[in-house]
Amino acid sequence: MKSDEVFFPRDWLASEKKEENKQADIKRQLVIALEEFQQKLKANPRCQSITVEYTKFLLDECKQEELRKGIFESVMTSLTETVKETPYESIVRRISQLAWNLLYQ
């Protein structure tokens, strides 16, 4: 190798940084969506307490440095099942999409 040749591409770290930024952005969107959903639940005295608990857990978990993916996925699945055929189904579907993007991208 000549002295002016580059062993690694000049932007090889930049693509990794972009991926980290993308993940952080998805996580921020997920936190916002969960907080908004939590507010809707608090405003409805008839909502199931388990829905509130699942939402609180997911929100707390998102605020941790590192997600416990298996537990997060299980609770997300349970929340999705809990709100089936309720007015909250479309909101949780959006939250679920963000969660899966965060977990598996």
Total-model pTM: 0.79
Q: Pull the structure tokens for residue 82.
A: 């809990």
Q: How far is CA 46 from CA 37, 38, 42, 50, 97, in A?
A: 15, 14, 9, 12, 26
Mean pLDDT confidence for 56-69 = 94
Confidence (pLDDT) at 48: 86
| pLDDT, tens digit (0-9, with 9 covering 90-100), for 5-53 | 656 566 655 555 666 788 999 999 999 999 999 999 999 988 889 999 9
Structure tokens, 103? 């977990």
Helices vs strands, H then E, count in the chain? 4, 0
Which token pair is 51?
A: 């829905």
- Model confidence at 73, pLDDT cuts 50, 70, 90, reads very high
Express as a percent the part of the chain with pLDDT over 70. Answer: 82
Amino acid identity of residue 12, one-letter, is: W
